Amino acid sequence: MDPECSQLLPALCAVLADPRQPVADDTCLEKLLDWFKTITEAGSSLQLLQENPCLVELLCHVLKPQGLSARVLSFSLRLAGVFAAQESCFQYLQQAELLPGLFGEAGPLGQAAWSAPTVRSGWIQGLRSLAQHPSALPFLADCGTLDTIFSLQGDSSLFVASAAGQLLVHILGLSLQGPAEGPPSPQACDWPVCAQKIVGHIEGSLRSMATPQVTQALNVLTTTFGHCHGPWMQVLWERLSPLVACLLQEDPLPAAHSLVDLLLSVARSPVLSSSDCGLWETLAQTLRRLSPAQAGPLALGILKLQDCPQALRAQAFGVLLQPLACVLTAADQAPGPPGLPEGTTGDSVTVDTLLSSKSACAGLLCQTLAHLELLQPLPQRPSPWPQAPLLGAAVTILRFCNGSAAPASDVGGRLCAILAGCVRVQRAALDFLGALAQETGPQELVTQVSAVLLEYLRSPDSSPTVLKKAFQATLRWLLSSPRAPGCCDLDPDTQLFLRELLPVLRKRLCSPCWEVRDSGLEFLTQVTRHWGGQAGFRHALLASEVPELAEQLLRDPESYVRASAVTAVGQLSSQGLHATAASPEQLGGQKESLLAELLHVLSTDSEGFPRRAAMQVFTEWLRDRHADVAEDTERFVARVLQAASRDLDWEVRAQGLELALVFLAQTLGQPSARCPYAVAAPQATPPGPLAQALRALSRVRLFEFAFRALFDCDRPVAQKSCDLLLFLRAQATPSGGLQEAEGSPDVPEAVLAVLRSLDLEGLRGALAESSDHVEKSPQSLLQDMLATVGVRGENQADCY
């Protein structure tokens, strides 16, 4: 601790210990604790306490009844824990009888303050910190501490209850890892006292069959098996697994969710999974025992395991597919849905769940679809993967949801009624359908996929969030569609789909919902980026009115849409697909108009998003040497920089520097490796002589822009400008280029002189620090806390 802080500390401790002086800010105590943690991690806590006796005095105040406010009390308990984490300091505090006082019956535990959750939480966190060394174990075992922790597992505060569970896991781990010599004994009586007590408590809880207790016990075990991998884990499981198996006999099953977590945690634990047949049997049994909604997460967990018996995997996959099998059966189709693994026919329990209520049906289907979506890309997913029936199921669900299915069965009819218009299921099914685009399916099904996607995109009933998902799924299917053999163009089916899709897109770009227009534009940008070079796509797009509409949306009332329109139009233009590029007679004049239009956006739009998008398009254009830009690059850069320099949004100014850097690189040649902004400028134009290059920079007023930006009050802008100027100076000075430059009469010598005179390195160093002037030093924290005493109440905690 530095001397300034040491000086301030006694006064602060005195303030904290004085209940009449309320503590400043909620966050101050947290930050103070953070600071003590860093100090104790770096050095001796004992020394810290000896050098700063005020800290021990503060801790002593906890022992006085009614001594401290709940917040300071909680803080002190946590602080004591932080100090006692080091064994020497733990002994010191033990000898001073402080620890039993703080954490035992004599402390807050027995006081009125205990009713405040923050005090209970501080008590647990203090113990959690100090339980770092074996000598802490007798302390924990002796004073009835464990019993208190057990009871806190059922605390009214979620935070306290959860922390109590975590603490038990930690203590159990600490006590069992200690005396690890030779294999652990299966006899509990040979275990350390703490472990005995904790395991005894867990056993008691499991036997109680009461859901809250069982849940607590299972959660502790789940975390234990997740975090600890010692040889004694096997012993522990052998001892507890019969009790866990007993739970499966109960009806109703207590704490099913926690049970699933525990079994998966055990199955993932490297110590156990390899050989234990009992575990696989328990998993299989649990799968059978759970309700369809509960079994889903377990099935997914099993399928994600690296090695587990094939039979169990098959069973799990069957469980996961159940709801979809029900859907397929309900939709009609003959005796059983084709292609699903054998035995996967919708069972009656699943059907009942689906038909029981709208929320149960939607819940189960959404969960199933999400699980399968997660499983789909994994290498350990079941093989063969039933792509075709899954596609069929996704399409059927979507049809049920939009009422276009004609179910033959009674169940189908009821499902239709339940799912009609269910946005949640629609979204989940569209996500899943999109994920299935990773691989194709039978042509007939792919056609159905296209059809259902078009239905959704067309339907006036589709909500904006559903439409967004429909666009995303469509994009994934489009991009995965096969190319026609022998040429790089699109296959006829895709071509056909596209011809139907574009009018729908056109309609959606006119939607009254900004979300829909925006999603449509995002889709257009993506598709163009991937397919801009394909003749079939180009032809279809230019024949539609989509490019014109995209340009009209540059004047949309919603700024997000304008920004997306700028990006889309920029992308179209880069690919030569801009609306008016098709009419050759007006080529020159019209092209100019898009540039002018985007410049107009940049200089007049009242909101930042479109202006930022315009800057990004311009930078791309310059980088790619877009035809309009190449016509008169200097004029282009000059106009853009002029507009950007006046901008109120600092991101636009920063983007302006990005563009300036691209121009610089193109004019001077590749930036050196030192430059943090490695710009991939094409090598096509060889860098001209330096003097000429500098004159060009001067003509576009790049120096003016950069120098102004160097003193910008927004740090990122200044920082970028500093980097740019450093790069420029490096280019101009060392290779003797400067002399050459000086030789020319019209070179901006003044600029170079300024460049040389500026301490750019120093400036860069200063700018590298945060531009936020929030003092993070501990000294500032202590000063602030002290200064606030007395003036509190004025500067109230408040909304921001």
Residues 281-310 that bind other proteins (CB under 8 A): 297
Q: Which 3 state secondary structure label does DSSP give 43?
A: coil
Measured from the CB atom, the residue of 541 and 760 that comes closer to other proteins is: 760
User: Is omega for the bond preceding 270 within 30 degrees of 0, making it cis?
Assistant: no
DSSP letter (8 states) at residue 672: P
Helical H segments across 230-357, by residue range: 232-247, 256-268, 277-289, 292-304, 310-331, 348-356
Which range binds other proteins by CB under 8 A, 45-53, 230-238, 501-509, 770-778? 770-778
Total chain residues near other proteins (CB under 8 A)? 71
Measured from the CB atom, the residue of 335 and 793 that comes closer to other proteins is: 793
Q: Does 66 bind other proteins (CB under 8 A)?
A: no
Q: Does 19 bind other proteins (CB under 8 A)?
A: no
Helices 492-508, 514-531: crossing angle, 10 deg rounding: 150
Interface residue with other proteins among 177, 208, 249, 780 (CB under 8 A) is 780
- Cβ 519 vs Cβ 467: under 8 Å: yes
Q: Which 3 state secondary structure label does DSSP give 669?
A: coil
Minimum distance from residue 453 beta carbon to other proteins (Å): 19
Q: Does 606 bind other proteins (CB under 8 A)?
A: yes
Q: Does 159 bind other proteins (CB under 8 A)?
A: yes
Q: Does 2 bind other proteins (CB under 8 A)?
A: no
Residues 365 to 394 in contact with other proteins, rule: CB under 8 A: 366-367, 370
Residues 403 to 432 in contact with other proteins, rule: CB under 8 A: 424, 427
Single-letter amino acid, residue 717: V
Which residue, 518, 622, 524, is CA-closest to 572?
524
Pairwise CA distance, residues 476 & 474, whole Å: 5
Residues in CB range of 780: below 8 A, 6 or more apart: none
Q: Does 41 bind other proteins (CB under 8 A)?
A: no
Q: Does 117 bind other proteins (CB under 8 A)?
A: yes
Q: Does 769 bind other proteins (CB under 8 A)?
A: yes
Phi then psi for residue 483, to 5 deg, are: -85, 150
* Chain centroid offset of residue 761 CA: 36
The torsion of the CA quartet 165, 167, 168, 174, rounded to 10 degrees, works out to 150
Q: Does 7 bind other proteins (CB under 8 A)?
A: no
Q: Does 24 bind other proteins (CB under 8 A)?
A: yes
Phi then psi for residue 490, to 5 deg, are: -75, 150
Interaction mask 503-542, other proteins, x per CB under 8 A: ------------x--xx-----------------------
Measured from the CB atom, the residue of 680 and 797 that comes closer to other proteins is: 797
Pairwise CA distance, residues 373 & 468, whole Å: 18
- Cβ 322 vs Cβ 346: under 8 Å: yes
- Cβ 694 vs Cβ 703: under 8 Å: no
Burial degree of 604 (CB within 10 A; 0-12, 13-18, 19+): exposed
244 token code pair: 């866990």
Measured from the CB atom, the residue of 738 and 781 that comes closer to other proteins is: 781
Interface residue with other proteins among 230, 608, 687, 688 (CB under 8 A) is 608
Radius of gyration of the chain (CA): 35
Minimum distance from residue 703 beta carbon to other proteins (Å): 19
Which residue, 306, 312, 304, is CA-closest to 280?
312
Interaction mask 200-239, other proteins, x per CB under 8 A: ----------------------------------------
- Cβ 204 vs Cβ 247: under 8 Å: no
Q: Does 118 bind other proteins (CB under 8 A)?
A: yes
Interaction mask 566-605, other proteins, x per CB under 8 A: ----------------------------------------
Measured from the CB atom, the residue of 277 and 791 that comes closer to other proteins is: 791
Q: Does 257 bind other proteins (CB under 8 A)?
A: yes
Interaction mask 716-755, other proteins, x per CB under 8 A: x---------------------------------------
Which range binds other proteins by CB under 8 A, 53-61, 199-207, 590-598, 646-654? 646-654
Q: Does 788 bind other proteins (CB under 8 A)?
A: yes
Which range binds other proteins by CB under 8 A, 228-236, 387-395, 734-742, 779-787? 779-787
Interface residue with other proteins among 372, 509, 715, 778 (CB under 8 A) is 715
671 token code pair: 């930036």
Interaction mask 70-99, other proteins, x per CB under 8 A: x-----------------------------
Which residue, 134, 68, 139, is CA-closest to 107?
68
Q: Does 759 bind other proteins (CB under 8 A)?
A: no
Interaction mask 332-361, other proteins, x per CB under 8 A: ---------------------------x--
**Cα–Cα–Cα angle for 224, 228, 233, rounded to 5 degrees:** 80
Interface residue with other proteins among 114, 560, 677, 707 (CB under 8 A) is 560
Q: Which 3 state secondary structure label does DSSP give 512?
A: coil
Which residue, 560, 629, 571, is CA-closest to 596?
629
Q: Does 6 bind other proteins (CB under 8 A)?
A: no
Which range binds other proteins by CB under 8 A, 28-36, 343-351, 398-406, 536-544? 28-36
Which residue, 186, 192, 191, 256, is CA-closest to 218?
256
Q: Does 683 bind other proteins (CB under 8 A)?
A: no
User: Is omega for the bond preceding 117 within 30 degrees of 0, making it cis?
Assistant: no
Measured from the CB atom, the residue of 679 and 766 that comes closer to other proteins is: 766
Pairwise CA distance, residues 8 & 786, whole Å: 8
Q: Does 465 bind other proteins (CB under 8 A)?
A: yes
